[in-house]
Chains A and B, each alone.
Chain A
Amino acid sequence: MKRIQIQTHPLDPIQEGMTFQKEAIDCGAIVSFTGIVRGNDNLIPLEYLYIEHFPEVTEKEIALIVHEAYTRWDFKNCTVIHRVGKIAVQEPIVWVAVASGHRTEAFKAAEFIMDYLKTDAPFWKKEIRVDGSSQWVKAKNTDQQKKQRWLYDGK
């Protein structure tokens, strides 16, 4: 079972985790990742993040990423929730969970999905700082490198 959700309202990883676990029938492992808005970027205090996306296209691209993970590892359930709009410091921005029979597949698939989500899904972050200035976040080479390793180390 696959669930992909883009939402403007707050994300509650604990509630989502409970729902996810109830639905993970015959699974011996659940791995989840929660991404949280950091309070600063390069020591510049942040007020909040604004995230833009491309409705319909974003969901389709995430579905492709999850499908690619399915072709590599044997897992049963997957949920990806990503917030858009205004997100305050310390609030969750993304939640990815994978349920599988055993832990290795869940760990690997969750990491793969997160790595590709960072580099392939059409989201754009803008930082609004405490001093009133703002700036669109630049894509990081380190994220590309994390994705690249899956090309050589397919599993």
Chain B
Amino acid sequence: MITIRYFGFLKEALGISEEQIDAQCCKNTAELLDYLRNRNTQWADVLSDANIFKLVVNLNVIHDVTPISSGDEVGILPPVTGG
């Protein structure tokens, strides 16, 4: 299983803060986003490129498409607003 964590407004827009999905769904982070966006139009809208700042795999911010497998944790971060 792959654990997915949602942050900020994504949590409320999707109505979920964390979920586990079958690792068979996707070999990498790009496929994972496609998988989630294909759930329905709401997921596609909320997880649009403009609403995703960065992805985090196993607590490391990634800058390129990254392989994922069972046991991995992926965080989906909306644009940040700290400071």
Q: Is B7 an interface residue (CB 8 A)?
A: yes
> Assuming the A-B contacts A124-B9, A136-B8, are A57 and B59 also in contact, with contact meaning beta carbons closer than 8 angstroms in the complex?
yes
B interface size (C-beta, 8 A): 18
Interface of B is mostly: loop
- B61's partner among A57, A114, A126, A139 (CB-CB below 8 A) is A57
In angstroms, Cα B54 to Cα A120, docked, is 9
Majority secondary structure, A binding face? mixed
The answer to whether A52 and B61 touch across the interface, beta carbons within 8 angstroms, is no
In the bound assembly, the distance between CA atoms of A107 and B76 in angstroms comes to: 34
Q: Which of B9, B12, B75, B81 contacts A54 (CB 8 A)?
A: B75
A residues near B (Cβ < 8 Å) are 35, 51-54, 56-57, 60-61, 82, 93-94, 114, 117-126, 136-140
Residues of B within 8 A of A (CB): 7-9, 12, 53-54, 56, 59-61, 75, 77-83
